[in-house]
Structure 1
Amino acid sequence: MDDLQSHKDAARKAAFKRRKQAFESAAPGQSAYLSEFLAGYRGVPVSGFMPIRTEINPLPAMAEAAAHGPVAVPVIQGAGQPLKFSLWEPDSEMIAGAFGAKIPAVDRFIEPEIVIVPMVAFDGAGGRLGYGGGFYDRTLETLRNKRATLAVGFAFSAQAAEELPLEPTDQPLDLMITENGIRDIKR
């Protein structure tokens, strides 16, 4: 195992522990700041995510955004491929997708202009540590090569890290939102 990978593994392990603690003590209203942010982009195509395990819950903000414009969720196409985004509504019929995340039973794909990104950890410079599959990095690169695409991180504030082991292919976040507020990225 190379040095970078061992640093990533150690960072993930520590971040998962912090996220689990934050999840277990989380209060209602986790997505209030996400709702506030999305209210400024009504009608713009957005991708949220279906929370798995101990991820922060974006569903109330997604439901509110869906009342004003298209909201989609990621659908994994296969290893090494970018994500596609299928339209979602609060009453959509959902089925099990890859890694335990629910996906719409009927695919109606769109390309979002705002991608709400789940994660294991984040830093103040827009760095993000995911699960290691590279899905969001490939996807954001593909979308950003077509047009301006906002990558908005959404996680518990406890998932913050001083610095993360990053690679040149890692796509930066444009903004970070937690249950405690909206954080600007300092590059």
Structure 2
Amino acid sequence: MTLSQPGSWPIARAKQALRDEMTRRRQAFAASATRAMVEDSLRRRMVRGLRAMVGAGDCISLVWPLPGEIDLRPVMQALHADGLCVALPETTPKGHPLTFRLWQPECVIQTGRYGTCHPEGPPVRPDVVCVPLLAFDRRGMRLGYGGGYYDRTLAALRGARAVGFGLSFQEVTCIPTGRYDVALPAIVTEREWIRCRGDGRTR
């Protein structure tokens, strides 16, 4: 089933309505007095959890922040200092999976499609992909920006582990899902790691 088929229209409309609502929530949070403290709590929890799940030589993909998004550069610095490979995604033409490029503190950052940024480094294959969330639920279902990039990317990266990251205010009771939507195995917020089963239920 594709979004051009009538049966998928209600799901598409529900997703877009939720996307609009969560965008408003995120804009309000960006102006809040607690933003710095909350985001720092998320970063510290991410570093601890990612250190525990990777081994020497593993590569972790993070995200260069867009305006209003969570700044993961301190996480990148901490993991790089541990000797881990850190990568950032390069936004590819629509319909293709993301490409990942090696990040190092001294590397040149380039502006890519849709205002995204990526390093000038060589392409690498991540073992762990950290997925940004606009909204999520306890089953591990996620709502992104609607481009489908991470869906295609995770399908192409067989064997890679996915971790969604967001803040607790982005949690909703139930994400609208279609037949091809797949749950994330884990989600991290400033409060907790949520471990999910492959069938979309929390452990």
**Residue 174 of structure 1 corresponds to which residue in structure 2?**
185
Q: Equivalents in 2 of 1:64, 1:168: separation in Å? A: 38
1:185 Cα deviation from its structure 2 partner: 2.2
Is contact 1:155-1:178 (8 Å) kept?
yes
Larger radius of gyration: 2
1:110 Cα deviation from its structure 2 partner: 0.8
**Residue 90 of structure 1 corresponds to which residue in structure 2?**
105
1:156 Cα deviation from its structure 2 partner: 1.4
Q: Equivalents in 2 of 1:136, 1:160: separation in Å? A: 19
Q: Normalising to structure 2: TM-score of the pair?
A: 0.84
Q: Does 1:81 align with 2:96?
A: yes
Give me the identity figure in percent.
34
Letter in 2 for 1:167: G
1:124 Cα deviation from its structure 2 partner: 0.6
Is contact 1:42-1:65 (8 Å) kept?
no
1:42 Cα deviation from its structure 2 partner: 4.6
**Residue 38 of structure 1 corresponds to which residue in structure 2?**
50
Instruction: Tell me the secondary structure at the aligned position of residue 151 of structure 1.
Output: strand
User: Which structure carries more relative contact order (alpha carbon 8 Å, separation 6+)?
Assistant: 1
Q: Does 1:27 align with 2:36?
A: yes
Instruction: Tell me the secondary structure at the aligned position of residue 109 of structure 1.
Output: coil
Instruction: Tell me the secondary structure at the aligned position of residue 157 of structure 2.
Output: helix
1:20 Cα deviation from its structure 2 partner: 2.1
Deviations 1:122-147 (A, max 9, x none): 11101011111100000001112xx2
Deviations 1:18-77 (A, max 9, x none): 222233331241411001112212532110001113222222112111222111001122
Is contact 2:91-2:116 (8 Å) kept?
no
Deviations 1:60-102 (A, max 9, x none): 1121112221110011221100001000123321011112121
Q: Equivalents in 2 of 1:57, 1:7: separation in Å? A: 29
Segments of 5+ residues of structure 2 without an aligned counterpart are 1-5
**Residue 69 of structure 2 corresponds to which residue in structure 1?**
55
How many residues are aligned here? Answer: 183
